[in-house]
Chains A and B, each alone.
Chain A
Amino acid sequence: MRKKRWLALGLMLLLVLSTALAACSSDSKDDGKDESTGGKEKKEKTLIFGRGGDSVSLDPIAVTDGESYKVTQNLFETLINFGEQDTTLKPGLAKSWKAAKDGLSYTFELQEGIKFHDGTDFNAEAVVKNFERWMSGNAETRPYFASMFGGFNGDKAAVIKSVVADGDYKVVITLNRPQAPFLKNLAMVPFGIASPTAFEKDGKKFGDNPVGTGPFKFVSWKRNDSVTIEKFANYWQDGLPKLDKIVFKTYPENSARLNALIKGEIDLADGINPSDATSIEDNADLQLFKRPSMNVGYLGLTVTRPPFDNVKVRQAVNYAIDKQAIIDAFFEGQAEVAKNPMPPVISGYNEDVKGYDYDPAKAKALLKEAGYDGKEIELWAMPVPRPYMPDGQKVAEAIQKNLADVGMKAKIVSYEWATYLEKAEKGEADAFLLGWTGDNGDADNFLYTLLDESNIGSNNYTFFKNAETHELMLKAQTEVNEAKRNKLYKKAQEILSEEAPWVPLAHSTPLLAGRADVLNFWPHPTGSDKLDKVDFK
């Protein structure tokens, strides 16, 4: 009897499950997407933005990752804005600003009548409280602040001395020393102004419920899945934002993300493989977007390790590598050949630097001159794709062939990404592929950060050291006159090209794609896009 009951139960369970499964697989066609994405949803304009990773926190000052900034860029606003598609300075929450002649103080006139999403008034006091919050933090809670403004309250290297309200809508910032990229730094996404009421109340949890003045306000966050933000009805700029809702949805796999876009499950997709560009352009339902380039991909030559301690060998490698062929093959042409360590869009770029043409004969001659002993080198290939290096392994193979042609044997090695960076930082690589995407569109952010001796052990992975460039770059940091400053950087680029600690390879154009009906989407070179003007046809 008992046995029978078991059997009956089991069979019934089987029956129920198989019916359920059969139902799943049968008539799914007529249901499909017309019902879910149809008429009504379209009227309540929702944009789904597919991207590669989730945000870390939605408190912009607490993070350094681009995926967090992508969202907070639309929740918060900065005192100064970058231009629509460049890094020129435009008024933001501050309608105007004035620098003192000595570059030691700045006065900001604020916009009036703006409210935060929680109803708090935006005014000078709010700005001061934000600066106090940033300056009293530490590396753990405000990871970007020290990198951009020297240090926190009481640190010797701190740039900002004080921030004071002068009336309701005027703020005066005094500096300890002039900092040329000061205004550009303020325009960076991490320095979005947050509601003091909210961060005083929520403290560490502010990132789970962010409140700013931006065109959109926070709705919900399903970790590793999606962040939803919606139109802020009381936004101070008339007629904006155009969209009612934006969902940032995570699709870690590039091809899966593109599949979702083709199917119309999402409206915009980040991180498009260069190899998919043609098929997107041929598809009438889709459009291709190009993010203006603000990056550099390079081959670093560690100058403390033989044979690269010899400048002639470094120059020889520069002549040996066929950069155009690499760009054609692995960037699918979506990049331009680099000759300086920073891209041409950045003020101070030296057009006149000649760079190194592809010339194997010259490379051989230089190697001979240098007395290169034919020792095999290690060539490090990046294990992860980045916009500035879509396929590190293949680029390394091409370079390996180029080097073999001039008589330099190279062994390709690779490590898991965090390991790769740590080992390269310690100077354990002979030659390594790497790159950089600019933060604030300033020359300092490329040249000083990547090639100055102060950053050895940090971002100067080649251990390059040069008294002359060091002096030029330090001078440029405090030089507030743009023309004079550019001159210093141009000189530095000449020396860097001559000394050749890098083989600059490419400035790539990162690609995005969208449905054909998406309007007014202008990708920003920093990677954080303002979506307030985006609309549907």
Chain B
Amino acid sequence: MLHYIGKRLLQLIPVLLGMTFIVFMIIRAIPGDPAQVILGQQATKESVASLRASLGLDNPWYIQYFDYLGSLFTGDLGESMRTKVAVSSELWPYLAATLELALCAMILAVIIGVNAGIISAWFQNSWFDYLAMIIALVGVSMPIFWLGLMGQWVFGIQLDLLPTSGRDDARNPVDPVTYLYVVDTIIHGRFDQLWEVFKHLILPATALATIPMAIIARMTRSSMLEVMRSDYVRTARAKGQKMFWVVYKHALKNAIIPVLTIIGLQMGLLLGGAILTETIFSWPGIGRYIYEAIGFRDYPVIQSGILVVAFIFVMINLIVDILYSLIDPRIKYD
């Protein structure tokens, strides 16, 4: 197993290298000059030129690329051109905000999605099955933008149950330590704030969970249907095992592998692709951070931000692969 993990980690290097190159080339291919954007519309030509020079944008692209790679290997993610702050120190608060939101959304999506899928398969062609699959279809096709704003309007304004946006109450702000606010409030022993943080999580997490939840439900259902028809399930039932245990113990274990793949992929997508949710709910996450950096042509932030997200994505995939062998002893990597 360790051998396998080592091999996979080594494979990471060319993947990430290739990715840095593609990102590097794409952002330089789009027009727009970081120096001009930083200096604003008022800037004179001379100051734009001198800023270009001092940012090293005058050098040929390959020199810029190798400079960037060189500093990456020393662990330096670069410095934001706009804020002049090191990307490595700027990145974590954003990443933590997104992690918290994405994890919360994923927990919701998995619990509801997997169970809805199982029950649909169990009672195939029942009213529950139809209803669940219609909801799942709607969920997949729902624009997050609309769903988010509607959620704010209904639960935030009309019913006045939940806060509409942000991570905490601006009048009673969380003092960040780890920037995972759930953890921070527990560290400080501020359970009133923990409650606030939870309430702030509900709407964005639900909005973000909708699509993966629907995908997971459909995947679980089809995977379960297949397994439920297999002989060993019939045997288990013939032996008099209760249906609940047949489904949740025997069938699910074999059906969960493709679902796990989907969960891993969706988790990766949630990390980088939560821009819309983060914008509507004013969530200071990494998606918005990178997106805004693109608007400002802040090359180091775009490059390193995407690199970090890609790294996490690949790691999640690795973890999912390892989980396979834990769940299904037939899968062996050595």
Contact = CB atoms under 8 A, between A and B. Distances in A.
Interface string B166-178: 1101111100100
Contacts of B292: 53, 224
B50 A253 contact: no
Contact of A64 (B42, B153, B248): B42
A275 to B, nearest CB: 15
Contacts of A417: 295
B126 interface: no
A25 B192 CA distance: 16
B84 A36 contact: no
B42 A147 contact: yes
Contacts of A33: 160
Given A17-B111, A18-B111, A418-B37, A29 B172 contact: no
21 contacts: A3-B249, A18-B111, A21-B108, A33-B160, A62-B84, A140-B38, A143-B40, A207-B84, A208-B85, A224-B289, A224-B292, A225-B167, A249-B166, A252-B282, A259-B164, A263-B163, A265-B165, A418-B33, A418-B295, A458-B45, A459-B41
A102 interface: no
A418 B31 contact: yes
Interface in B133-173: 149, 152-153, 156-157, 160-167, 169-173
Given A41-B171, A247-B173, A418-B295, A259 B153 contact: yes
B297 to A, nearest CB: 6
A144 B152 contact: no
Contacts of B83: 56-57
Contact of B297 (A48, A252, A418): A418
Interface in B191-248: 192, 195-196, 198-199, 201-202, 248
Contacts of A25: 202
Nearest to B179: A222
B171 A146 contact: no
Nearest to B114: A14
Contacts of A147: 42-44, 47
Contacts of A46: 171
B48 interface: yes
Interface string A149-184: 001000000000000000000000000000000000
A207 B90 CA distance: 14
* Cβ-closest 8 pairs across A and B: A418-B32, A139-B47, A64-B40, A224-B284, A225-B284, A251-B282, A147-B42, A419-B31
B282 A37 contact: no
A140 B51 contact: yes
A425 B43 CA distance: 12
A41 B44 CA distance: 47
Given A143-B47, A226-B170, A421-B36, A251 B41 contact: no
Contacts of B43: 64, 139, 143, 146-147, 458
Contacts of B162: 28
B282 A144 contact: no
A24 interface: yes
A223 B293 CA distance: 13
A250 interface: yes
Contacts of B195: 31
Interface string A209-223: 000000000000011
A374 to B, nearest CB: 30
Chain A interface size, as a band, is 35 or more
Contacts of A222: 93, 173, 176, 284
A265 B36 contact: no
B39 interface: yes
Contacts of A262: 157
A277 B43 CA distance: 34
B279 A253 contact: yes
A204 B80 CA distance: 13
B25 interface: no
Contacts of B249: 3, 7
A407 B6 CA distance: 70
Contacts, number: 190
Given A146-B47, A207-B84, A419 B94 contact: no
A247 B46 CA distance: 37
Given A53-B292, A253-B282, A419-B32, 6 more contacts: A62-B84, A143-B47, A224-B289, A263-B157, A418-B295, A425-B36
A204 B86 CA distance: 12
Given A32-B160, A417-B295, A256 B170 contact: no
Nearest to A147: B42
A7 B43 CA distance: 65
Pick the most buried of A35, A36, A139, A249: most chain B CB atoms within 10 A of its CB.
A139
B42 A459 contact: yes
B39 A36 contact: no
Nearest to B41: A459
Contacts of B163: 263, 265
Contacts of A263: 156-157, 160, 163-164
Contacts of B248: 7
A281 interface: no
Give the one of A7, A35, A252, A449 with max B CB within 10 A: A252
Contacts of B47: 139, 143, 146-147
A250 B281 CA distance: 10
A335 interface: no
A92 B54 CA distance: 35
B107 A17 contact: yes
Contacts of B111: 14, 17-18, 21
A422 B173 contact: no
Contact of A65 (B40, B152, B167, B202): B40
Given A259-B164, A266-B170, A138 B279 contact: no
A259 B163 CA distance: 10
Q: Which of B31, B48, B165 counts the most chain A CB atoms within 10 A? A: B165
A412 interface: no
A498 to B, nearest CB: 26
Nearest to A259: B164
Interface string B34-74: 00111111111111101100110000000000000000000
A266 B280 CA distance: 16
Contacts of A250: 282, 284
Contacts of A251: 165-166, 282
Contacts of B30: 416, 419
A256 B295 contact: no
B116 to A, nearest CB: 13
Contact of A421 (B38, B41, B85): B41
A151 B43 CA distance: 11
Given A147-B44, A224-B94, A259-B164, A422 B282 contact: no
Nearest to B81: A140
Contacts of A252: 279, 282, 288
Interface in B291-320: 292, 295-297
A184 to B, nearest CB: 14
A452 B196 CA distance: 55
A375 interface: no
Contacts of B156: 259, 263
B249 to A, nearest CB: 6
Contacts of B202: 24-25
Given A7-B249, A17-B111, A36 B284 contact: no
